[in-house]
Amino acid sequence: MGLCHGKPIETPENLSGNSIIQGDNNEHALNSTGKTPKFPFYSPSPLPSLFKNSPANSSSVTSTPLRFFKRPFPPPSPAKHIKALLARRHGSVKPNEATIPEGSECEIVGLDKNFGYSKSFGSHFEIEEEVGRGHFGYACSARGKKGGLRGQGVAVKVIPKLKMTTAIAIEDVRREVKILRALSGHKNLVQFYEAYEDEDNVYIVMELCNGGELLDRILSRGGKYAEEDAKDVMVQILNIVAYCHLQGVVHRDLKPENFLFVSKDERSSLKAIDFGLSDYVKPDERLNDIVGSAYYVAPEVLHRSYGTEADMWSIGVIAYILLCGSRPFWARTESGIFRAVLKADPSFEEDPWPNLSPDAIDFVKQLLNKDYRKRLTAVQALSHPWLAGHHDVKIHLDMIIYRLVKAYICSSSLRKAALGALARTLTIPQLAYLREQFTLLVPSKSGLISLQNFKSAMVKNSTDAVKDSHVLEYVNGVSSLQYRKFDFEEFCAAAVSVHQLEGIASWEQHARSAYEFFEKDGNRPIMIEELASELGLSPSVPVHVVLQDWIRHSDGKLSFLGFVRLLHGVSSRSFQKA
């Protein structure tokens, strides 16, 4: 039983049960000097030599054709050096400026590596053996020596201060601890106990999960889960992610390596770990730093403008892998993977997809939508027919409702009528989700909710994380708007997402039937000038020629095209882009 201080393990394990692949073509696994270059993404682990005759070898943007994949190589660097990415992409930054050269850590001065954590780790815990290793540190089992954890087995993530070579890296550790502390208590999140530090390390003490990583379990099952088993995993992942998102925390590194089973038991529960890349995000805010793991990164992260939806993409990738054992976006090189993420459509034609349920396929497709506005939220994913009714589903408030309601309140009455017509076309599962959200907002006996309800429901569900994520400020802003109380019917009009509906196969039917309802109840003759102002177009925008098509010549009312545009609430900016 060795102590776990020391150098990271150099050799990656191949857990596929196949031979370790020789001559990995990963373009940045090794550079010409044989040194691992710094790069903001974790290395991909393609298996080119295994697939000599596979489609993946002939194209760089198809999904992995086999059921096997090995663990990623020990990755080259922590994930936040955007400059390094830019240097590689644009050659705009010299490599030496972009990254901190190997071995220079000791020369870094002026960084405050005091975290203010207790210094008494050694007197509280006896370290036992190493249980895992990552880019930033390693994890050991340990035993409590005194206090409430005396005699109890725990896990300790040890992060060497030597590795904290930038202010960002230090801030990441601080935030990891803060977020773990704030969110701890959820049954699908590793329980946080305490953080300590000494001269050399930060120690994050948490619950010990003995069941291994989700990745190992996928591999031990030959790369694939039965649908029912995949549902158990997905529900647990979504339960914790829905909870994080409501608190304004985006994980940014969701992948099977970052979920651990509590025990080896087949029915063991799953826990999210590793909030090392997590960040706070307000509902109306966009993040722009490129972080994550290449196979799981969302397109909008690569475009450097993203929010919590980026996690939902990663969950879509995990779901795809669970169900078919292949990666949806695969290439030999990192840039190839990025190209696939941005451009390629994952295959749903090959085995086993034709034999999976239509609900499972629809579920994955709705997560892997490249347009983040059309993707399911975590709460919506839990309400999707594939998972709805699963015994472990826990429905949280969904922050998207707050955003949609806010936009609805600020809309013109004509747009409100159009949304009302659209809401009348919702299906039973879609209405069930909205009914649950309505209930979570605690309607009065007469079935009404006020904007104050939006605030009190959030306050009731808040953890300390909402202070840092500023979610409460946002919610206060929504609840301070002036608007009448909502009955369920108007709530549906306010909370229906046009973008999301547009992303599903039956959109055309929704739009057509909604237009019919609108024709009966809401359509009226409208002048071009008024329409322009309804759409939020400033009089200076030269739109008249185009807007003519949005008004029906026979009676001067909105045409179908105009109706759909109105649903979207086109602004001058989007109009000019169109």
Give the footprint of Ca ion on residues 404-433 (CB under 5 A).
none
Alpha-helical (H) ranges within 77-205 are 82-90, 95-98, 121-124, 167-183
Q: What is the DSSP letter of 141?
A: E
Between 184 and 476, name the residue whose CB sits nearer to ligand ATP: 184
**Residue-by-residue DSSP string for 260-329:** EESSSSTT--EEE---TT-EE--TT--B----SBGGG--HHHHTT-B-THHHHHHHHHHHHHHHHSS-SS
Choice from 274, 289, 398, 534 touching Ca ion (CB under 5 A)? 274
Q: What is the DSSP letter of 352?
A: T
- Cα(209)–Cα(205) distance, rounded to whole angstroms? 12
List the one residue from 40, 46, 65, 134 that touches ligand ATP (CB under 6 A): 134
345 is catalytic: no
Q: Which are the contacts of 66, defined by CB distance < 8 A and separation ≥ 6? A: 47, 50, 51, 54, 223, 325, 326
CA distance 578 to 576: 6
467 annotated as belonging to a binding site for a ligand: no
Please check whether residue 456 is in contact with residue 441, taking contact to mean a CB–CB distance below 8 angstroms: no
Amino acid at the residue 572: S
The stretch among 100-108, 132-140, 264-272, 448-456 that binds Ca ion (CB under 5 A) is: 132-140
Among the residue ranges 135-143, 161-169, 321-329, 341-349, the one whose residues contact ligand ATP (CB under 6 A): 135-143
Indicate whether 206 belongs to the interface with ligand ATP (CB under 6 A): yes
Options 234, 260, 297, 451; binder of ligand ATP; rule CB under 6 A = 260
Q: Using CA atoms, how far apart are residues 195 and 203, in angstroms rounded to an integer?
A: 6
Residue 403 interacting partner from Ca ion, ligand ATP, none (CB closer than 5 to 8 Å by kind): none
Residue 300 interacts with ligand ATP (CB under 6 A): yes or no: no
Residue 291 neighbours by CB under 8 Å, 6+ apart: 40, 79, 80, 252, 253, 277, 301
139 part of the interface to ligand ATP, by CB under 6 A: yes
Instruction: For the segment 174-203, give every residue that binds ligand ATP (CB under 6 A).
Output: 190
Task: Give which of 532, 526, 524 is closest to 565, Cα–Cα.
Answer: 532
172 scored as a contact of Ca ion (CB under 5 A): no
Binders of Ca ion among 226-265, rule CB under 5 A? Answer: 258
Q: Is 132 in the site for Ca ion (CB under 5 A)?
A: no
| Shortest spacing between CB 190 and ligand ATP, in angstroms | 5
Confirm or reject binding of residue 209 to ligand ATP (CB under 6 A): yes
248 — alpha (psi -120 to 50), left (phi > 0) or beta? Answer: left
Choice among 172, 232, 253, 279 that is catalytic = 253
Q: Which stretch binds Ca ion (CB under 5 A): 94-102, 133-141, 231-239, 553-561?
A: 133-141
Counting residues that bind Ca ion (by CB under 5 A) gives: 4
At CA 335, angle to CA 331 and CA 339, rounded to 5?
Answer: 75
Active site residues: 253
- Binding region: 157
- Binding region for ATP: 157
Binding-site ranges for Ca ion (CB under 5 A):
134, 258, 274, 276
Binding-site ranges for ligand ATP (CB under 6 A):
131-137, 139, 155, 157, 190, 206-209, 213, 257-258, 260, 273-274, 276
